[in-house]
């Protein structure tokens, strides 16, 4: 007979939880038998004491077992997904999903909403008139069979234990635990029923993981869990010290993503989209098509249009635009040497692009456009940043806050590679 107090004591004292203890506590918490305050104590013990890889894998399995698993067999295509740990201007899911689908894989991209300075994929897509995020399991399978790709909200039945525990961690100071982060991400991804998975672990000021060592620790934990559950899995560690692309904000990022799908767009967004597509196709065993070609010749854009229309959206409709657009001008002439991702993400959030609480609404037209990126020349008095908002009272405080977000000098900028490292289960 198990008890919550006994399980808490084991981890509090630095012990290893047994498989039976993990299975019991996750199931009992999901059913309400273990109280929030008890699970809070256990989460804090895990944060302080950690978990071994086998413990983390079992914790993940228990969260998966708390709900349903999508069945994606019979699609006639290999299934592969991508997960990003989140960043500023990270709209990669939007062009990546139709690109990989255009190359022959099925991509069930179950996504979330933004909170704080990082944007959410569903918020971005909901700026498209008519598009709907919620699909039933049978609708997800139908879209994958007919179109090859789908971006939607997770169904209610997937990993309900994670949904409950995530909300608890958010209010108890236990979000930072790597085992709990890794099991949260992987329980939902494994419950999707995909065969392969590629992870984009962000690193830098605009990411949750600030240093390469932190990002590497999380990437390793994620890959190990995936491998333990039979997934073909790898992780790219990518830079998030500078906003990705030039657009930060929901409709602004959709427009930039469509530019990429039409053969244009910022070089960093194109580079990361193509490299993640190549890694996803490698994991899925699809080698016949070069994603760079599928992006250049319009095939990915065709899939995007079909994918949006299949969820009620109008791919030709005008996107929301903010009522107020103002510029921040360069205070000097020289080279832009720094543009802090976190500060820009925070500015977009304050302008209305994000939410402080899950129940808040977002202004789909709000955000920031980066008219210059590090390494580029700027001229005194010329536009540097563009602020978009429906809330004019936010413009002045945002402008003041952004003054410390960038630096201009005569020095050359040492370029940082976008992809910093790769972790695979083959290591």
Q: Which tens digits make up the pLDDT trace of 63-101?
A: 999 999 888 888 989 999 999 998 899 999 999 999 999
For the chain, the first-to-last Cα distance in angstroms comes to 40
In the set 81, 90, 123, 162, the catalytic residue is 162
In the set 83, 124, 143, 164, the catalytic residue is 83
In the set 113, 143, 169, 301, the catalytic residue is 169
pLDDT greater than 70 at residue 239: yes
Q: Is 83 a catalytic residue?
A: yes
pLDDT on residue 154: 85
Higher pLDDT, 330 or 362: 330
pLDDT on residue 361: 81
In the set 91, 143, 188, 301, the catalytic residue is 188
CA distance 357 to 326: 27
Instruction: Catalogue the E-assigned strands of 173-323.
Output: 196-203, 232-239, 247-248
In the set 40, 127, 183, 184, the catalytic residue is 184
Domain ranges for the chain, please list them.
Answer: 4-50, 80-316+420-424, 324-409
In three-state secondary structure terms, 341 is helix
pLDDT on residue 207: 87
pLDDT on residue 147: 96
The residue count of the chain comes to: 427
Confidence class for position 362, pLDDT limits 50, 70, 90: confident
Instruction: Catalogue the E-assigned strands of 35-176.
Output: 80-84, 107-111, 149-153
Residue 218, both tokens: 């999380």
Residue closest to 199 by CA, chosen among 93, 122, 302: 93
Q: Is 184 a catalytic residue?
A: yes
Confidence class for position 410, pLDDT limits 50, 70, 90: confident
Instruction: Catalogue the E-assigned strands of 15-163.
Output: 80-84, 107-111, 149-153
Mean pLDDT to the nearest integer, 396-420: 90
pLDDT on residue 183: 93
One of 3.30.2350.10, 3.20.20.140, 3.30.465.10, 3.40.1030.10 is the CATH number of 80-316+420-424, namely 3.40.1030.10
Q: What is the pLDDT of residues 114-156, one digit of tens each?
A: 666 677 899 999 999 999 999 999 999 999 999 999 999 888 8
CA distance 65 to 191: 9
Q: Does domain 324-409 have CATH number 2.60.40.1220?
A: no
Q: What is the pLDDT of residues 294-348, one digit of tens each?
A: 999 999 999 999 999 999 999 999 999 999 999 999 999 999 999 999 999 999 9
Q: What's domain 4-50's architecture?
A: Up-down Bundle (1.20)
pLDDT on residue 116: 63
Q: What is the pLDDT of residues 182-221, one digit of tens each?
A: 999 999 899 988 999 999 999 999 888 899 999 999 999 9
Has this prediction a pTM greater than 0.85?
A: yes
């Amino acid at each position: 007979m198990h008890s919550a107090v006994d399980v808490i004591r084991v981890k509090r004292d630095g012990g290893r939880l047994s498989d039976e203890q993990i299975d019991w506590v996750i199931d009992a918490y999901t059913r309400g038998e273990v109280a929030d305050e008890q699970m809070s104590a256990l989460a804090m013990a895990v944060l302080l004491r950690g978990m071994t890889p086998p413990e983390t894998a079992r914790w993940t399995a228990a969260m998966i077992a708390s709900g349903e698993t999508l069945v994606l067999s019979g699609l006639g295509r290999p299934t592969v997904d991508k997960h990003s740990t989140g960043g500023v201007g990270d709209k990669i899911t939007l062009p990546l999903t139709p690109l990989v689908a255009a190359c022959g894989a099925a991509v069930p991209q179950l996504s979330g909403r933004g909170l704080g300075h990082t944007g959410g994929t569903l918020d971005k897509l909901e700026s498209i008139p008519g598009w709907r995020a919620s699909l039933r399991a049978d609708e997800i399978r139908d879209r994958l069979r007919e179109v090859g790709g789908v971006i939607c909200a997770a169904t209610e039945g997937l990993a309900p234990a994670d949904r409950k525990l995530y909300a608890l961690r958010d209010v108890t100071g236990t979000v930072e635990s790597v085992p709990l982060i890794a099991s949260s991400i992987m329980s939902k991804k494994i419950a999707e029923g995909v065969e392969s998975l590629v992870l984009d672990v962000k690193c830098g000021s605009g990411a949750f993981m600030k240093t390469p060592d932190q990002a590497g620790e999380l990437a390793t934990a994620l890959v190990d869990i995936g491998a333990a559950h039979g997934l073909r899995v790898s992780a790219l560690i990518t830079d998030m010290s500078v906003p990705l692309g030039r657009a930060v904000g929901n409709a602004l990022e959709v427009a930039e993503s469509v530019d990429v799908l039409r053969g244009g767009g910022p070089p960093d967004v194109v580079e990361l989209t193509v490299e993640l597509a190549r890694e996803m196709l490698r994991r899925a065993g699809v080698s016949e098509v070069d994603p760079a070609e599928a992006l250049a010749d319009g095939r990915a854009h065709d899939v995007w249009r079909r994918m949006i229309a299949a969820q009620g959206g109008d791919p030709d409709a005008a996107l929301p635009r903010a009522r107020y657009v103002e510029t921040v001008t360069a205070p000097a002439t020289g080279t832009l040497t720094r543009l802090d991702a976190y500060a820009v993400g925070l500015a977009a959030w304050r302008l209305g692009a994000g939410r402080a609480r899950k129940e808040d609404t977002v202004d789909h037209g709000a955000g920031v456009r980066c008219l210059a990126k590090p390494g580029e020349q700027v001229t005194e008095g010329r536009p540097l940043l563009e602020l978009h908002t429906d809330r004019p009272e936010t413009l002045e405080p945002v402008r003041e806050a952004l003054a410390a977000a960038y630096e201009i000098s005569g020095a050359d900028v040492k370029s940082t590679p976008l992809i910093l490292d790769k972790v695979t289960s083959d290591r």
